[in-house]
Amino acid sequence: MKLGAKLFLAFLLVIFIGLTALAVAIQFTAPGALNRHMYGMGQGMGMGMGQGQGMGQTLLQDVRNGVNEALGWAALAAIFVAGGVSLLLSHRIVAPLQELTRASQRIATGKFDERVNAAGQDELGQLGHSFNQMAVQLEQVEAMRRQLIGDVSHELRTPLTAIKGSMEALIDGLLPADAETYEQVRAEADRLNRLVDDLQELSRVEAPAFHLDIAPVDIPALIATTIKRATPAAQTKRIILTSRGPRQLPPLPADEDRLGQVLLNLVANAIQYTDEGGAVTIETEQKNHQIEISVKDTGIGIPPEQLTHIFTRFYRVDKSRSRATGGGSGIGLTIARRLVEAHGGKIWAESEGIGKGSRFVIALPLL
């Protein structure tokens, strides 16, 4: 029941209880009051018949006084009962609001595990449910913030430790001051710089504080450009990089630069986690009112239990491998997911397990 209907019924209930109390009080007080006044009138009738007119007026006044006395007591009883009922009803309405106020004050101090009693389906109950949902989301955001700080600290510490160790070894003479040593230090500095750039990009897409320049995009041409940009990295590992799909597709409304960023990220990941001599294939297909673009590789694969976590920031399937090669910040797929979702599309990963390769699919609507 809606809160407005409850308030209306509460007012009617107070009126009904007041009238009932008034009627009951009159039933108990009216006879006694009338008897007292009629008794005084009976004593006055012994004064003679010549005063009949005056006695009629006295009778009328005595009846009026009796009724007024009965109404007075009844009104006091009705006010007392209706006041008690009003206090009870107002408490039932105000108490949830007071609980919400106290809970919001505790959440403001950082106690995000605070919840309220959200019983009922009226506006107050819905407000309680919304408040609890907000508290859950705030608690999750706080947990993610703490995890992000810990992850960022860990990721920054790795290249900084390597740079510091190399410099100390140079100072102590444990490493030769040659081009190879300086190249190692420069590589760690570049890794640190890429991580900072990725973090800035992640903050923009998660805000979201970026603008999509939507325009018709030629998907086959975009895939050809992606292959051209990724070919040098593929040739270094002797990986075969190809595309498959229709040469003509309807223009896709999207931000070409952002979509190209997503495709290049997926292809770069596929090349990174595919051994030398493997293959990476970009496939396109039109299904109903959407276009699916997939990046398939013959790489290390993904365990089925990790498929749901693959788009989590700083998550890696093969942590030791990425640490050793120094590649990837672990947030590229998170950025890709945010950009795809900003286009109204979906992205997911498929794999049959370790050593069986993986397939990343992007589904974008045509309209």
Per-residue pLDDT of the chain in tens (367 residues, 90 and over written 9): 555 566 656 666 666 666 676 666 666 665 665 565 555 555 555 544 444 445 445 555 655 666 666 666 666 766 676 667 667 767 777 777 788 888 888 888 888 888 888 776 777 778 888 888 888 888 877 877 787 777 777 777 878 888 888 888 888 888 888 888 888 888 888 878 877 877 777 777 776 667 888 999 999 999 999 999 999 989 999 999 999 988 888 999 999 999 999 999 899 989 988 999 999 999 999 988 899 999 999 988 888 888 877 887 766 655 544 444 444 556 788 888 889 998 999 999 999 888 889 999 999 998 6
Q: Check: CB of residue 124 under 8 Å from CB of residue 3.
A: yes
Neighbours of 302 (CB within 10 A): 24
Question: What local confidence, expressed as pLDDT, does residue 53 receive?
Answer: 44
Residue 122, classed as helix, strand or coil, is coil
Question: What local confidence, expressed as pLDDT, does residue 218 receive?
Answer: 93
Measure CA of the first residue to CA of the last residue in the chain; give whole Å. Answer: 41
Q: Check: CB of residue 253 under 8 Å from CB of residue 217.
A: yes
Question: What local confidence, expressed as pLDDT, does residue 36 receive?
Answer: 59
In sequence order, what are the beta bridge partners of 341?
A: none
Q: The whole model's pTM is what?
A: 0.57
Residue 119 to residues 116, 123, 251: CA-CA distances in angstroms? 9, 11, 51
What is the spatial distance between Cα 348 and Cα 167, in angstroms, rounded to a whole number?
Answer: 42
Torsion of the alpha carbons at 296, 302, 303 and 307, rounded to the nearest 10 = -80
Question: What local confidence, expressed as pLDDT, does residue 194 receive?
Answer: 77
What is the spatial distance between Cα 309 and Cα 331, in angstroms, rounded to a whole number?
Answer: 12
Question: What local confidence, expressed as pLDDT, does residue 42 receive?
Answer: 54
CB proximity list for 232: less than 8 A, separation 6 or greater: none
Question: What local confidence, expressed as pLDDT, does residue 321 receive?
Answer: 45
Name the one residue in this structure whose structure tokens are 């309405």. 93
